[in-house]
Chain A
Amino acid sequence: MTNSSFRVLVFGIAKDIMGGSKVNLDIELPSNVDLFKAHLLSVYPAFQDVTSLAVAINNEYSTGTDPIHEGDEVAIIPPVSGG
């Protein structure tokens, strides 16, 4: 396991919370969605007030122990409101 500065894509209210649309997080790789979300909440506790939080890895919704590897595109998906 190595700590890496990992860039994530950020949308909607998450941009307001994290201060940008592309944010670098210091995380241990390889990781998984549960670990990633726990880390996110610890660094940005304001996410506790957001109705829900999904994570996408390489354009697919991902959950639980789905892995995050170096080079993956990870996006933070707050509650969607298209249409």
Chain B
Amino acid sequence: MIDIQILDKPLSVDDCRAFIADPSCGGEVIFVGTVRNHTHGKKVIRLDFEAYTPMAISEMSKIAQNIASRNDIHRVAIYHREGRLEIGEIPVIIGVSAAHRVAAFEACQYAIDTLKETVPIWKKEIFEDGEVWVAAHP
């Protein structure tokens, strides 16, 4: 079972647990991404996230389907937030439940690594002296 959401309000780890928890599972692995206050030694004020929502949902679903089809994996939740995020806020939560922990750890790592490569969502770093779209220029 899979839950994919893009929201413009704060994400909830409790909601993620509520979805992925199951009596057949012995382990839940939840990755929580957070907004860092610096990048390359420079102070970050906040991040602005933009999503191509229908395609982002589609690509996140592909990741979740890939994981959900693996042995041991029971439920997968991938939540991403869009809009303005302050330092310490949560742009992404990925939760995986499994019978055994090894599968859950591997699946969760795969999910965040792949999300960062394929999902059409963009973040802009806001500094005191300007703004930069992350990864846009070499």
Cβ–Cβ contact B55 & A59, under 8 A: yes
Q: CA separation between A60 and B123, bound complex, in Å? A: 21
Cβ–Cβ contact A82 & B56, under 8 A: yes
What is the distance, in angstroms, from B137's C-beta to the closest C-beta of chain A?
Answer: 6
Q: CA separation between A12 and B50, bound complex, in Å? A: 7
How many A-B residue pairs have C-beta atoms within 8 angstroms? Tell me: 78
Q: Which residues of A contact B52 (CB under 8 A)?
A: 9, 11, 56, 75, 77
Chain A facing B: main interface SS: loop
Q: Which residues of A contact B124 (CB under 8 A)?
A: 12
Q: CA separation between A13 and B112, bound complex, in Å? A: 23
The verdict on A83 contacting B112 (CB below 8 Å), with A75-B52, A77-B52 known, is yes
The verdict on A78 contacting B133 (CB below 8 Å), with A11-B52, A83-B33, A83-B92 known, is yes
Cβ–Cβ contact B136 & A82, under 8 A: no
- Which B positions have Cβ atoms within 8 angstroms of A? 33, 49-52, 54-56, 58, 80, 91-92, 112, 115-124, 133-138
